[in-house]
Structure 1
Amino acid sequence: MAADPASLINWSLLALEPPGWGGVLLAGLMNSIKIAVGGYSLGLILGTGGAFGKLYGGPVLKDLLEVYTTLVRAVPELVLILLLYYAGTDLLNQLMAAIGYGPVDISGLAAGIFVIGIVQGAYSTEVLRGAIKAVPAGQIEAARAFGMSSGQIMRRVTMPAMLPHAIPGLSNLWLISTKDTALLAVVGFSELTLVTRQAAGSTKAYLLFFCAAGALYLALTLVSNVIIRLIEARARRGMAAPA
């Protein structure tokens, strides 16, 4: 009589308390979320500045931003992570030594946020630049006719009008940032992928743990999609529904 496949899986390994690894997986997931949120937020800040710099900055600034976005989008993200993590840390310590300070111990969380933020910033720049250009020029001209300053136009007209155009691209970047955290496993940061590999290696239950990690990533994506739809519905309120 054939054994039930479910009986071959030791589900107790997913228990939250030792010797189960469930708590470790959830802690890794929380680290992944922290890096994704921090890196995505930093990327939005860089992307907003980059988008306005590309559209309204001087020639030198535009050229520098073009080099930044081209390099980041051209180089594989794993290579960028290794370069920024190791070379960036080494460069910072050399600068600290040059001004008479000792080496800086950078936490894995801070380094991960910085690396993901640099990558996200390049893509956010192009997404936001396209969204800003999608704002009808007549709205900007009308705001100027009412005597609004550049800051008021950006805050009251440009930003609200460009948001519906930007949300689809920005939502994709958020989902990409949650997946990019897995690449930080190569530098030893304890996010979900690394702790999953450790759990699977210790117990030899590879199928169980990698399926569990996939389910956690899927749950994060589903929750993100619900939140994104709510944000998009609010941003599009008052607008005509697409045909």
Structure 2
Amino acid sequence: MTLDLYGFGPALAAGTLMTIKLALSALCLGLVLGLLGALAKTSPQKPLQWLGGTYSTLVRGIPELLWVLLIYFGTVNLMGRLGELLGHPGLALNAFAAGIIALGLCFGAYATEVFRGAILAIPRGHREAGQALGMSKPRIFWRIILPQMWRIALPGLGNLFMILMKDTALVSVIGLEELMRRSQIAVTSSKEPFTFFLVAAFIYLSLTIIAMIGMYFLEKRAGRGFTRSAS
């Protein structure tokens, strides 16, 4: 028995590839924002604490779909005016870039709390040991704090990434032809909603399973030294 996709197989494959690109790009941006947010929230400087807390609270308090719409249409107007000033009236941010910014911003807000919890879970004595050895603060962070923080935060980040992959479907509302958008186009043309939405669900599930397998090996690798010392 073969599944009839009415010739939309290549289009769905292209949409799947776009979904993967969008998710990985937003992940990279989100990890950077999350790490900066966590460092700000755990900083002894009050202004940085306020900045990090405001970022995570504000972004998490607004639905991801609204962020997609706000960033896309907001940047369209902003860049349109900027283009007029620079003599390039066609200047605009495309849907892919807007999706990366919106999803990366949301991922980073949640990752901020994951990283923050991981930093607070590291015993203070580890920092003091680094200071006793004459290590600088950046070196202590890079050699002592960051590896432990990564190991502790990895399970939470893995869950956030799986949510991020499904949230890529939200970007279809601004016209990006990722998997969900391609599926909707196929449904409109073929009048077979169950078939194509079922295929889309299977593809999302497959991507999630692949991500789970990848996270398993990352967690296993990150915890190698910790496992040996605990045994």
TM range (shorter): over 0.9
Q: Which residue of 2 aligns with 1:164?
A: 151
Q: Which residue of 1 aligns with 2:88?
A: 102
1:88 pairs, out of 52, 75, 79, with 75
Q: What is the distance in 2 between the residues matched to 1:65 and 1:90?
A: 27
Query: Quick check: 1:47 aligned with 2:56?
Result: no
Percent identical among aligned pairs is: 40
Q: What is the distance in 1 between the residues matched to 2:32 and 2:165?
A: 18
5+ residue gaps, structure 1, are 1-5, 14-18
Q: Which residue of 1 aligns with 2:64?
A: 77
Give, in angstroms, the shift of residue 223 of structure 1. 0.6
Give, in angstroms, the shift of residue 96 of structure 1. 4.7
Q: Which residue of 1 aligns with 2:10?
A: 23
Q: Which residue of 2 aligns with 1:112?
A: 99
Q: What is the distance in 2 between the residues matched to 1:139 and 1:170?
A: 23
Give, in angstroms, the shift of residue 74 of structure 1. 0.7
Q: Which residue of 1 aligns with 2:177?
A: 190
Give, in angstroms, the shift of residue 21 of structure 1. 0.6
Q: What is the distance in 1 between the residues matched to 2:26 and 2:68?
A: 12
5+ residue gaps, structure 2, are none
Q: What is the distance in 2 between the residues matched to 1:238 and 1:147?
A: 24
Residues 88/62 of structure 1: CA separation in 2 closer, same or farther (3 Å cut): farther
Q: Which has the larger radius of gyration?
A: 1
Query: Quick check: 1:220 aligned with 2:207?
Result: yes
Q: Please tell me the residue identity of whatever aligns with 2:3.
A: W
**Secondary structure, aligned partner of 1:238:** helix
Q: What is the distance in 1 between the residues matched to 2:80 and 2:49?
A: 30
**Secondary structure, aligned partner of 1:155:** helix
Q: Which residue of 2 aligns with 1:124?
A: 111
Q: Which residue of 2 aligns with 1:3?
A: none
Q: What is the distance in 1 between the residues matched to 2:77 and 2:44?
A: 32
Q: What is the distance in 1 between the residues matched to 2:56 and 2:80?
A: 26
Q: Please tell me the residue identity of whatever aligns with 2:176.
A: F
Q: Which residue of 2 aligns with 1:67?
A: 54
Q: Please tell me the residue identity of whatever aligns with 2:117.
A: G
* TM-score, normalising length: structure 2: 0.93
1:145 pairs, out of 124, 132, 142, with 132
* TM-score, normalising length: structure 1: 0.88
Q: What is the distance in 2 between the residues matched to 1:95 and 1:67?
A: 28
Aligned residues: 229
Report if aligned partners of 2:25, 2:100 keep a CA contact under 8 Å in 1: yes
Query: Quick check: 1:208 aligned with 2:187?
Result: no
Report if aligned partners of 2:79, 2:93 keep a CA contact under 8 Å in 1: no
2:186 pairs, out of 184, 190, 199, with 199
Q: Please tell me the residue identity of whatever aligns with 1:163.
A: W
User: What is the aligned-residue RMSD (CA, Å)?
Assistant: 1.9
